[in-house]
A = this chain, B = another copy of it.
Amino acid sequence: MADETGSTKILLDESRIPRRWYNVVADLPAPPPPPLHPGTREPVGPEDLAPLFPIDLIEQEVSLERYLDIPEEVREVYRLWRPTPLYRARRLEKALGTPARIYYKYEGVSPSGSHKPNTAVPQAFYNAKHGIRRLTTETGAGQWGSSLAFACSMYGLECEVWMVRASYDQKPYRRLMMETYGARVHASPSPLTTAGAKILAEDADSPGSLGIAISEAVEVAAGADDTRYALGSVLNHVLLHQTVIGEEALEQLASVGETPDVIVGCTGGGSNFAGLIFPFLREKLAGRIDPVLRAVEPAACPSLTRGRYEYDFGDTAGLTPLMKMHTLGHDFVPDPIHAGGLRYHGMAPLLSHIYELGLFEAVAKRQRECFEAGILFARAEGIVPAPEGTHALAGAIEEARRCAETGEEKVILTALSGHGHFDMSSYERYLSGEMEDFDLPQERIEQSLARLP
């Protein structure tokens, strides 16, 4: 049943902002393995996490409830940009000559330009509620850092961000955005922490990594009573908060009488993909729909397709609990691809578990194919996508081209996680023909996997 309304944007009223986050754990055939204390290898309890997170987030992290209420104070801030539009990519379909119908859920309308505020806002809210004065965090491309900086400005919290050195140097505008929201930003590795200083002693020119920056932010939060840490992906509560994406998309597609045949998203830590697919997975597990669910990850950091499903640290220095996840090894340093937000060594434990259950599939793509898709998309639809999002678009375009060959009128849903306004230098690399595609020898993966804890 095709959408015949002729609409380009499918909008929802503010009253349709979800009132509950969906916790997919409640509907899985098996529970995900618990995080372990690295010393004892026993499951960690709430008390282990209390130095880092407020109690509400810890409760959400381990909750078995199917739905968790979104506080009114959070919905109040969500109103600044949510519900986000679902677009029918009519001009892209035409450019591809495909009979497929392509829909994309666009999160770039948020103040910081990505899906990250969906979780930054509740995280800041719960911390403020418990009297916390300051949040620390890491950021790669800067999307998470600017989102947390924005969220902190909403609730009057201080915000301190460790930004991966490579991005800090290449993307000054993201740093300036954080500062505009009132945050303090440090290049990571920094001399301000033991973890950072140790890396700098080994390599003064270290380009940094998300894992290192996490170590620094965690160290500072753990060392101060009035300070907590905020993570932008990977953890259960982060994935939970992102389900507003999928809940809205479900309602938007239904409003035009469409049922998705293929849902394709990009994965770094996995929060955008999880937020998109979890509500659809609920419907699939209940037998109401049966879409193919597909993750697209970067070939330079292929945790799902080439990583191992093992207990590993979330950060490079080994400060976090051990989490069972698809990992390339906690000290794996991916090549400097332009999708900085996808350069994480592991995959969210909950998503990894669901992958092991065989409930979605994964493919890896090289960045030149992704930027080619990004340019095609920009010239057809107008929006210049973030490098991370081009991976989802490349997956959607591949599927749509297949439909052009077979004549199948599939309904393809994808999520564009953000705009590329702060990533134009990456487009320059691509347009000038200077963008590299990296080979990742199996040996490099084996080496870091050999150091699993």
Q: Which residues of A are at the interface with B, using a C-beta cutoff of 8 A?
A: 7-9, 11, 13-14, 79-81, 91, 109-113, 150, 153-154, 172-173, 176-177, 179-182, 375, 378-379, 381-384, 419, 421-422, 424-425, 427-428, 431
Nearest-CB residue, chain B, relative to A176: B424
Residues on B with beta carbons closer than 8 Å to the beta carbon of A383: 111
Q: Are A421 and B7 in touch, CB under 8 angstroms? A: no
Q: Are B80 and A179 in touch, CB under 8 angstroms? A: no
Q: How far is the CB of A319 from chain B (nearest CB, A)?
A: 32
Q: How far is the CB of A11 from chain B (nearest CB, A)?
A: 6
Q: Are A384 and B7 in touch, CB under 8 angstroms? A: no
Residues on B with beta carbons closer than 8 Å to the beta carbon of A14: 7-9
Nearest 9 interchain pairs by C-beta: A111-B382, A421-B421, A176-B424, A8-B79, A173-B424, A153-B379, A80-B382, A180-B427, A176-B428
Measured in the bound complex, the distance between the Cα atoms of B268 and A446 in whole Å is 60
Q: Are B421 and A181 in touch, CB under 8 angstroms? A: no
Residues on B with beta carbons closer than 8 Å to the beta carbon of A379: 153, 180-182
Measured in the bound complex, the distance between the Cα atoms of B52 and A189 in whole Å is 56
Q: How far is the CB of A78 from chain B (nearest CB, A)?
A: 9
Nearest-CB residue, chain B, relative to A426: B176
Residues on B with beta carbons closer than 8 Å to the beta carbon of A13: 11
Measured in the bound complex, the distance between the Cα atoms of B379 and A179 in whole Å is 10
Measured in the bound complex, the distance between the Cα atoms of B111 and A9 in whole Å is 14
Q: Which of B8, B172, B179, B427 contacts A431 (CB 8 A)?
A: B179
Q: Are A79 and B9 in touch, CB under 8 angstroms? A: yes
Q: Are B79 and A378 in touch, CB under 8 angstroms? A: no
With known contacts A7-B79, A11-B13, A180–B431 Cβ distance under 8 A: yes
Q: Are A421 and B113 in touch, CB under 8 angstroms? A: yes
Measured in the bound complex, the distance between the Cα atoms of B146 and A379 in whole Å is 12
Q: How far is the CB of A415 from chain B (nearest CB, A)?
A: 18
Residues on B with beta carbons closer than 8 Å to the beta carbon of A150: 382
Residues on B with beta carbons closer than 8 Å to the beta carbon of A422: 173, 421
Residues on B with beta carbons closer than 8 Å to the beta carbon of A91: 80, 154
Residues on B with beta carbons closer than 8 Å to the beta carbon of A153: 378-379
The 21 sampled A-B contact pairs (Cβ below 8 Å) are: A9-B80, A11-B11, A80-B381, A81-B382, A150-B382, A153-B379, A172-B424, A173-B173, A173-B421, A173-B425, A176-B424, A176-B428, A177-B384, A177-B427, A179-B428, A179-B431, A180-B427, A182-B379, A419-B421, A421-B421, A421-B422
Contacts A9-B80, A173-B421 given; 10 further ones with Cβ under 8 A?
A: A112-B382, A172-B428, A173-B425, A176-B425, A176-B427, A179-B427, A180-B375, A180-B379, A180-B384, A419-B421
Measured in the bound complex, the distance between the Cα atoms of B428 and A173 in whole Å is 9
Measured in the bound complex, the distance between the Cα atoms of B253 and A22 in whole Å is 35
